[in-house]
Amino acid sequence: MRLEVEITGKTFRSAAGEQHDVISGACFALDAGEVGVLVGPSGCGKSTMLRIIAGLDHDYQGCVSRPTGARIGFVFQEPRLLPWRSVEDNVRIAAPAADEAKLSALFEILELKAHRNHFPGELSLGLARRVALARAFAIEPELLILDEPLASLDVALAARLRDEIAILMEGRSMIALLVTHDLDDAVRLGDRVLLLSSRPARVLADLPIRTPRSARGEAEIAAIRADIMRRINGSSTDQAAS
């Protein structure tokens, strides 16, 4: 099972009729069990890239090859829950055949056990994000796409939720692709970090992290993060010079 991405161009027209280039060169591949992380400046086209990869946007140049018939779990920047449905119903709508034992384990890991009968309007942002994650994991996806799932959360809550995502990813053979602005999230969750340029986005570097997630110590995480920062600062200098 493999995801192959080659997006050579993506443009859109504004309401005023002006053409804007969003992506100019994104080429990478991920195998089963790998977590790729897209890191780049705000507005560079990361979310657009995810929509193309998920098959939600077909207006681009290039080719995206997804595993045939793969179940796709997509966690958007906003939780996108149905306000008239309970937490459990929001999850079961996406995964009607979900095994009760597996669903209960999922709710337990994501700290949703006490909220199964609550409605989205009764939830904090952190809980709503957990429901969105539960919905995506409940379908047992072969391809999981996460668009800034920890955005707008305080540091402690984001760290706890990041650990829960890592637990859910452990041992699964799915392909996962995550967008984040936080290098700590990238280094703690990813197996590969893909650095993107400013718009129009292109892949500046594809950086593998050899050590398994569960074995990464704080010193190694800090060293990897510092190396990525050096590369980001170096690429910014090169782009400014050109």
- pLDDT of res. 135: 96
Asked whether 204 and 235 are in contact (CB, 8 A), the reply is yes
Q: How many other C-beta atoms are found inside a 10 Å radius of the C-beta of residue 164?
A: 15
pLDDT category, 68, cuts 50, 70, 90? confident
**Looking at domain 2-70+180-241, which of 2.60.40, 2.40.10, 2.170.270, 3.40.50 is its CATH number?**
3.40.50
Q: pTM of the full predicted structure?
A: 0.90
Q: What percent of the chain has pLDDT above 90?
A: 71
Does the structure show a pLDDT above 70 at 242? no
- pLDDT of res. 237: 55
Per-residue pLDDT, averaged over 208-214, amounts to 89
Read off the pLDDT of residues 27-41 as tens digits, 9 standing for 90 and up.
999 999 999 999 988
- pLDDT of res. 238: 56
Read off the pLDDT of residues 108-164 as tens digits, 9 standing for 90 and up.
999 999 999 999 999 999 999 999 999 999 999 999 999 999 888 888 989 999 999
- pLDDT of res. 18: 83
β-bridge mates for residue 152, sequence order: none
* Burial (CB count <10 Å: 0-12, 13-18, 19+), residue 114: exposed
Bond prior to 200 in cis (omega within 30° of 0): yes
Where do the domains of the chain lie?
Answer: 2-70+180-241
Does the structure show a pLDDT above 60 at 240? no
- pLDDT of res. 182: 87
**Which residues lie below 8 Å from residue 188, measured CB to CB, with a gap of 6+?**
162, 166, 213, 216, 221
